[in-house]
Chains A and B, each alone.
Chain A
Amino acid sequence: MKPDQLLHPAPAGLYCPAGDFYIDPVRPVARALITHGHSDHARAGHGAVLATRETLDIMGIRYGADFCGAMQAAAFGERIDLSGVTVSFHPAGHVLGSAQIAVERGGLTIVASGDYKRGADPTATPYEPVPCDVFITEATFGLPVFHHPEPKGEMGKLLTSLRQFPERSHLLGAYSLGKAQRVIRLLRDCGYDAPIYIHGSLARLCDYYVSRGIALGDLRPATTERSSPADFRGAVVVGPPSAFADRWARRFNEPLVAFASGWMMVRQRAKQGGVELPLVISDHCDWPELTGTIRELAPREVWVTHGREEALVRWCELAGIPARPLHLVGYEDEGD
């Protein structure tokens, strides 16, 4: 069997004809396998959904309990048969519950890794390498310019700024699923134990992380009516970056906007976004992690999905590994 008979791109997403399922489909389908809960990968309205317990819970929180017809939870490493195709979920280290999906038939294994990272993150089960014939990798940060530094060092910049500007409210932009909880946990691990104020859109997901055993410390809503700027003097406020451009942000005292994202590696990006304090903290692989993973797995073939495919394909060429871009549409590479 040729690899692209087992799995190939279709308008709705990666499709497996033998098992009649899609991986992370971008439009409603009968049977979907979901790698993780980010909204460009996990959409509502499918017939049956197979995903990890956490991913199903997160989808329930975001879309309501009836987000699909039927759901089945997959444990890491459990082998599940779908019409003669064996699928199994393996940790991807991206966000809570994130998984790579291995698809096997007739001795051929393809791993769709979804979004993944290799760096340490106490809020997600660490990535595990899965031997395979074809490795499908993302390329969000697929350029040699991307080198994500040690997260604690980056968080140290925020703590330094709090000391330098004790009167200013530090608004820390972070996407609401995964990054927000990770930066809060990171602040705690750096010894910051003051209350952290959160935007309303983060509350339920933070509660869920806590219920899964990830302690986030004293979190308080930053959305109280009648609050005055003085209440947030010198405080850390975590929220989605879009909220900081909004009227919502006016309640804060001389706000200083920080943003935790892999994109902050490039100065012009930070400048355009009006970010005063860029923190390079990413839930994706940087360039050495992408290339290191491919070297480690040594697959027969690499398929590259969303991001800067051309550079990673070029790197594979130079390394003598056959590679091609999949040109899947509908995945945002902005969200990190």
Chain B
Amino acid sequence: MRAFATLLDRLVLTPSRNGKLTLLADYFRDTPDPDRGYGLAAIAGTLDLKSVKPALLRELVLERMDEVLFRYSYDYVGDLAETIALVWDEERKERVPDEAQPRLGAVVSRMNALGRTEVRGAVRDLLDRLDPSARFAFLKLATGGLRIGVSARLAKQALADFSGRDVVEIETLWHGLSPPYEPLFAWLEGRADRPVLATPAIFHSVMLANPVGEGDLDALDPADFAAEWKWDGIRVQLSAAGSTRRLYSRSGDDISAAFPDVLEAINFEGVVDGELLVGGTARMNSPTRTFSDLQQRLNRKTVTARMLEDYPAFVRAYDVLFEGEADVRPESFSDRRARLGEMIEKAPHDRFDLSPLVPFGSWAELETIRRDPPDPVIEGVMLKRLDSPYQAGRMKGPWFKWKRDPFNIDAVMMYAQRGHGKRSSYYSDFTFGVWTDGPDGPLLVPVGKAYFGFTDAELEVLDRYVRNNTTDRFGPVRAVRAEPGYGFVLEVAFEGINRSTRHKSGVAMRFPRIARLRQDKLPADADRLETLMAMVEAKEG
């Protein structure tokens, strides 16, 4: 448990992706089986551990310490698992030697073998035998509250870094394997052959597109490409083999549990690539709903009947990777598209439709079409070479995405926070706001936060403004001068805008970044909240 706890402590405080990869790869290299496999599972969200209720933990801690002292401690720390991890020793000073601490693998197998009446005693015993950091890790795992800011995808990349294998290969295997992943590690370390998967319906890495850059299209013949709309949902992969059906996100996370409506409707075998959306299919003649409606269904472990009714999900198919057991990825896009058309034609009309192709004769004509899409849930066009096979990863050439131009507003810098790593001495995360009417005149309301888009030279300018114009400090955050006649105007570009109940302003931007520093403008010239609301309304049609 010790090694895993140390890893966790470091990961939580390490902001950079490369730093996280190093920490993970070192952990996989230095930790024996089966512990590292359970550690991997805990990070990738595939660990199954008997859960412990917070109420039981409270009871256990109050068996051994004064309630008033516990309350003072909890008030100070603010997190139940951390408080218990820290106060458990109370006045005990001698430390648990590292080698006497139970290992992660032993903790997992012991917990999962417990009968209902044995939980209390076993948890007490484990807390006694772990040190504070390991206790914290154990309590977070057992209460299901582990947040470490590492995606399953990043964990797989670390496996690739540590073994020298291709991450695509690891992803291909991933969903057919289960904790503690011993055959996977044996193969990664070259001690065994590639594991043979018994489970069908595994995830296959998806093919990604590059954005159309300046002049990219000039040398290309429009006749070699098909165009289709880029829908504003989430990219998914549907996999069906026999009775096994899975829905995966683009990164390979299994999101099946939240979408029973889609899974139940599958009547084909194979692997289909598409966009997950909410609303009605084109075949039912009902409108596609916005991304914020789709968000109601995302990041859920389960889904209520009410959600299913209010936010029905469907898949708009883009491509096919397997038809039945046949791998059709080497075929051309046109051939795959023909197969896909037949599969979707026979699939239930309310849950599946085919992403329509957009006819065009020249790049200029497509440009005009792109600027004025027929549906507000379209965020641009995709260009796919008619002869391109389906290749995992982001190859330059076969597929392009040509997004609708971003939205732009002028906003006023309100708060700034220091960055991390290279930027730890710079104020580089900016909260910006726009004007609205307050009780005593115009008032800035924060509408978003951006921490990229500027050059290093521009960062110097921004940082200097923050340092010279700080009006207040809240921990690592500084408030800066922002008045109609004095302040810093930022041109902010973003990909989309939705209503939000979580933000005071009532709107939430997608991918905001700082497009330009507008030192030529006064804050009074910045945009108003009504402008943003109008963008939301235009989108909602």
Interface residues of A (CB under 8 A from B): 143-147, 149-150, 157, 164-165, 244-250, 254-257, 265-268, 270-278, 287-289, 291-292, 308, 310-311, 314-315, 318
A266 — which chain B residues lie within 8 A by C-beta?
Answer: 76-77, 82, 86
Separation in Å of the B265 CB from the closest CB of chain A? 44
Instruction: Answer whether residue B234 sits at the interface, using C-beta atoms and an 8 A cutoff.
Output: no
A144 — which chain B residues lie within 8 A by C-beta?
Answer: 65, 69-70, 73, 86-87, 90-91
A246 — which chain B residues lie within 8 A by C-beta?
Answer: 425
Instruction: Answer whether residue B523 sits at the interface, using C-beta atoms and an 8 A cutoff.
Output: no
Instruction: Answer whether residue B153 sits at the interface, using C-beta atoms and an 8 A cutoff.
Output: no
B15 — which chain A residues lie within 8 A by C-beta?
Answer: 276
Closest to B89 in A: A147
Q: Contacts A245-B418, A255-B421, A272-B476 given; indicate if A291 touches B91 (C-beta within 8 A).
A: yes
Whether B83 lies near A145 (C-beta < 8 A) is: yes
Instruction: Answer whether residue B365 sits at the interface, using C-beta atoms and an 8 A cutoff.
Output: no
Give the complex CA separation of A247 and B418 in angstroms.
12
Instruction: Answer whether residue B424 sits at the interface, using C-beta atoms and an 8 A cutoff.
Output: yes
B89 — which chain A residues lie within 8 A by C-beta?
Answer: 147, 288
Whether A308 lies near B72 (C-beta < 8 A) is: yes
Could you name 24 residue pairs across A and B whose Cβ atoms are closer than 8 Å? A143-B76, A144-B70, A144-B87, A144-B90, A145-B76, A147-B89, A165-B19, A244-B424, A249-B425, A266-B76, A267-B79, A268-B77, A268-B78, A270-B13, A274-B418, A276-B13, A276-B19, A276-B420, A277-B10, A287-B90, A287-B91, A291-B91, A292-B91, A318-B66
Whether A267 lies near B12 (C-beta < 8 A) is: yes
Give the complex CA separation of A273 and B418 in angstroms.
10
Instruction: Answer whether residue B126 sits at the interface, using C-beta atoms and an 8 A cutoff.
Output: no
Whether B91 lies near A265 (C-beta < 8 A) is: no
Q: Contacts A255-B421, A308-B72 given; indicate if A164 touches B12 (C-beta within 8 A).
A: no
Whether B424 lies near A274 (C-beta < 8 A) is: yes
Whether B132 lies near A147 (C-beta < 8 A) is: yes
Whether B420 lies near A271 (C-beta < 8 A) is: no
Give the complex CA separation of A247 and B423 in angstroms.
11
B494-524 vs A, CB cutoff 8 Å, 1 = contact: the mask equals 0000000000000000000000000000000
A292 — which chain B residues lie within 8 A by C-beta?
Answer: 91, 93
Identify the 8 closest CB pairs spanning chains A and B, nearest first.
Answer: A145-B86, A249-B425, A288-B93, A144-B87, A311-B72, A145-B73, A288-B91, A272-B475
A254 — which chain B residues lie within 8 A by C-beta?
Answer: 421-422
A244 — which chain B residues lie within 8 A by C-beta?
Answer: 424-425
A272 — which chain B residues lie within 8 A by C-beta?
Answer: 475-476
Whether B72 lies near A310 (C-beta < 8 A) is: yes
Give the complex CA separation of A164 and B15 in angstroms.
15
Give the complex CA separation of A268 and B77 in angstroms.
8
B68 — which chain A residues lie within 8 A by C-beta?
Answer: 314
Q: Contacts A143-B72, A273-B476 given; indicate if A278 touches B13 (C-beta within 8 A).
A: yes
Separation in Å of the B418 CB from the closest CB of chain A? 6
Instruction: Answer whether residue B191 sits at the interface, using C-beta atoms and an 8 A cutoff.
Output: no
The number of A-B residue pairs with CB atoms under 8 Å apart is 109
B385-429 vs A, CB cutoff 8 Å, 1 = contact: the mask equals 000000000000000000000000000000000101110111000
Closest to A266 in B: B77
B91-115: which residues lie under 8 A (CB-CB) from chain A?
91-93, 95
Instruction: Answer whether residue B14 sits at the interface, using C-beta atoms and an 8 A cutoff.
Output: yes
Interface size class of B (residues with CB under 8 A): 35 or more
Closest to B93 in A: A288
Separation in Å of the B480 CB from the closest CB of chain A? 16
A315 — which chain B residues lie within 8 A by C-beta?
Answer: 66, 69
Q: A249-B424, A276-B420, A277-B10 are in contact. List 14 more A-B contacts (CB 8 A).
A: A144-B65, A144-B70, A145-B73, A147-B86, A150-B95, A254-B421, A254-B422, A255-B425, A256-B19, A266-B86, A267-B136, A308-B76, A314-B68, A318-B66
Whether A276 lies near B14 (C-beta < 8 A) is: yes
Instruction: Answer whether residue B22 sits at the interface, using C-beta atoms and an 8 A cutoff.
Output: yes
Whether B86 lies near A165 (C-beta < 8 A) is: no
Whether A250 lies near B13 (C-beta < 8 A) is: no
Give the complex CA separation of A275 and B68 in angstroms.
31
Whether A314 lies near B13 (C-beta < 8 A) is: no
Closest to B421 in A: A254
Separation in Å of the B451 CB from the closest CB of chain A? 14
Separation in Å of the B271 CB from the closest CB of chain A? 39
Separation in Å of the A183 CB from the closest CB of chain B? 19
B6 — which chain A residues lie within 8 A by C-beta?
Answer: 157
Closest to B82 in A: A267
B136 — which chain A residues lie within 8 A by C-beta?
Answer: 267
Whether A277 lies near B13 (C-beta < 8 A) is: yes
- Residue picked from A145, A274, A291, most chain B C-beta under 10 Å: A145
Give the complex CA separation of A271 and B68 in angstroms.
27
Give the complex CA separation of A314 and B89 in angstroms.
18
- Residue picked from B69, B92, B418, most chain A C-beta under 10 Å: B69
Separation in Å of the B116 CB from the closest CB of chain A? 31
Separation in Å of the A219 CB from the closest CB of chain B? 23
A276 — which chain B residues lie within 8 A by C-beta?
Answer: 13-15, 19, 420
Instruction: Answer whether residue B23 sits at the interface, using C-beta atoms and an 8 A cutoff.
Output: yes
Whether B91 lies near A275 (C-beta < 8 A) is: no
Separation in Å of the A99 CB from the closest CB of chain B? 25
Instruction: Answer whether residue B26 sits at the interface, using C-beta atoms and an 8 A cutoff.
Output: yes
Give the complex CA separation of A244 and B426 in angstroms.
10
B54-90: which residues lie under 8 A (CB-CB) from chain A?
65-66, 68-70, 72-73, 76-79, 82-83, 86-87, 89-90
Separation in Å of the A120 CB from the closest CB of chain B? 13
